[in-house]
Amino acid sequence: VKYQSVFPPKYDLSKVKSPVSLFYSHNDWLSAEMDVFKLHQELGNAVGLYLITDSEFNHLDYIWSTNVHKHVHKRIYKILENY
């Protein structure tokens, strides 16, 4: 047990200086929306929070969906144009 606890120590996410955009969906069974919102608030340089509106889209769809280009990749390309 590295941390002498079942939980790792809290990391100060405000120290993250790289721009971060977060994507989430209502149907994601691995990333709870409440946790995504909390992460967004705690990050030092959150630049975007994007809801994927497809009600069927879930965590595995970031890799396997045939619609991932429409829902995620196009937005990522737009974000990258700013950098």
Spatial separation of the C-alpha atoms in residues 49 and 43, rounded to whole Å: 12
Could you tell me the pLDDT band of residue 1, with boundaries at 50, 70 and 90?
Answer: low
Could you tell me the sign of the dihedral formed by the alpha carbons of 55, 33, 64, 22, in that order? positive
Averaged pLDDT for residues 58-67: 95
pLDDT at 77: 96
pLDDT at 38 over 80: yes
Rounded average pLDDT over 44-69: 95
Nearest to 48 by CA among 56, 57, 39: 39
Q: What are the helix (H) ranges across the chain?
A: 33-42, 61-64, 68, 74-80
* CB contact at 8 A, 22 and 51: no
What pLDDT, on a 0 to 100 scale, did the predictor assign at position 5?
A: 84
